[in-house]
């Protein structure tokens, strides 16, 4: 009788853990409204912070000659992007901007404005799978998206020709995405990566959020949810690692992080920086919360970014024309 009771108890505990894993999977990885982001104290900006793009940046974008473009992913999803051509001709450099978790490409308008107005670049702003106008019910956290961004790189080459130079610039999940993409085989036209407030790995970030939001330990919830993710989304949390992908990156990387980031801990950027085997730079912005470094100290951000781009791109004509 005792053994039977113990067996029933074990089954009940396992069932509860599985249900808990399903709940966390749906909350974090399924495409659905993310209520836990609303009024999240770790996403509340410091005084005077704005997140990514101001209203004037979005208004500016709406006045530009943007085009809606589409590609089909390797697994059959219709992916959407917003294309803003350079006013000075297609052979100028191109930046591909990667947005954050639950966002969409046009939310990168502030960065698009910088690259278009001050650098004269072509700008591509994809909507990640499971975001914006792109198809998909699963959020890839950068790991599934890395293959999509390789495809976007090849789309750019087909659009403007092989003489262009390409920069990958992402923020938050997008920052991790461009690092993960950098670990893939990329054409020589990809010259540099800018990673703003990226996490080290999906496992590390979800472990941090589980503790912050639910006051729960990583074990057993992260392993169970990771197993469900492998079943339903195709990846374990541990394999979705920007740190691991960095060991294969072959281009210079600029790492940026807010020193007041309470959503992706600032300590993660130091681990990423140390893991990078190529030329690298690090910029941390005092008082900047998550995703707000560009708005908190835009002059410093632009100064460091300008220097990094000038150093790592051979095509300097756009620079001299727009600075």
- DSSP per residue over 260-318, as a string? T-TTTTTHHHHHHHHH--SSEEEEEETT--TT-HHHHTHHHHHHHHHHHHHHH-S--HH
pLDDT surpasses 50 at 321? no
Question: 3-class DSSP state for residue 130?
Answer: coil
User: What value does the mean pLDDT take over residues 247-263?
Assistant: 97
Q: Which strands, in side-by-side order, build the sheet including 67-72?
A: 67-72, 78-84, 122-126, 94-98, 166-171, 190-196, 253-258, 280-285
Its pTM stands at 0.92
Which tens digit of pLDDT belongs to each residue from 125-175? 999 999 999 999 999 999 999 999 999 999 999 999 999 999 999 999 999
At residue 17 the predicted structure's pLDDT band, cuts being 50, 70 and 90, is: confident
Cis check: omega of the bond before 178, within 30 degrees of 0: no
Q: Are strands 67-72 and 78-84 parallel, antiparallel or unpaired?
A: antiparallel
Q: Which of 280, 277, 272 is nearest to 243 (CA)?
A: 272
pLDDT surpasses 90 at 95? yes
Residue 98: what are its φ and ψ, rounded to 5°? -110, 120
Within 141-260, strands assigned E span 166-171, 190-196, 253-258
- Which helix (H) or strand (E) element contains residue 206? helix 202-214
Q: How far from chain centre, in Å, is Cα 238?
A: 17
User: What value does the mean pLDDT take over residues 37-65?
Assistant: 70
Q: Which of 154, 158, 92, 96 is nearest to 123 (CA)?
A: 96
Q: What's the pLDDT at 323?
A: 36
List all residues 6 or more positions away from 281 whose beta carbon is below 8 Å from its beta carbon: 252, 253, 254, 255, 304, 308
């Amino acid at each position: 009788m005792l053994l039977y009771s113990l067996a029933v108890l074990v089954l009940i505990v396992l069932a509860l853990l599985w249900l808990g894993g399903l709940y966390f999977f749906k909350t974090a990885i399924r495409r659905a409204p993310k209520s836990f982001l609303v009024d999240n104290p770790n996403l509340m900006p410091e005084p005077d912070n704005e997140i990514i793009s101001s209203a004037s940046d979005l208004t500016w974008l709406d006045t530009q000659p943007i085009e809606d473009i589409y590609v089909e992913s390797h697994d059959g999803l219709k992916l959407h992007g917003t294309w803003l051509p350079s006013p000075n001709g297609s052979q100028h450099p191109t930046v591909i901007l990667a947005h954050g978790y639950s966002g969409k490409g046009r939310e990168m308008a502030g960065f698009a404005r910088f690259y278009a107005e001050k650098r004269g670049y072509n700008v591509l702003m994809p909507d990640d799978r499971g975001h914006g106008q792109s198809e998909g019910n699963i959020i890839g956290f950068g790991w599934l998206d890395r293959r999509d961004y390789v495809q976007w790189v090849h789309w750019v080459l087909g659009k403007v020709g092989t003489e262009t130079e390409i920069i990958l610039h992402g923020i938050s999940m997008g920052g991790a995405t461009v690092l993960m993409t950098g670990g893939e085989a990329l054409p020589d036209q990809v010259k540099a990566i800018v990673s703003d407030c990226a996490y080290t790995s999906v496992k590390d970030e979800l472990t941090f959020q589980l503790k912050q939001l639910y006051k729960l330990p990583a074990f057993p919830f992260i392993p169970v949810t990771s197993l469900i993710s492998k079943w339903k989304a195709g990846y374990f949390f541990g394999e979705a690692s920007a740190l691991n992908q960095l060991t294969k990156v072959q281009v210079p990387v600029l790492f940026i992080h807010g020193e007041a980031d309470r959503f992706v801990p600032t300590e993660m950027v130091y681990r990423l920086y140390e893991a990078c085997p190529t030329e690298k730079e690090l910029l941390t912005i005092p008082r900047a919360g998550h995703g707000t470094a560009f708005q908190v100290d835009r002059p410093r951000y632009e100064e460091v970014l300008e220097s990094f781009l000038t150093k790592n791109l051979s095509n300097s004509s756009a620079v001299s024309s727009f600075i």
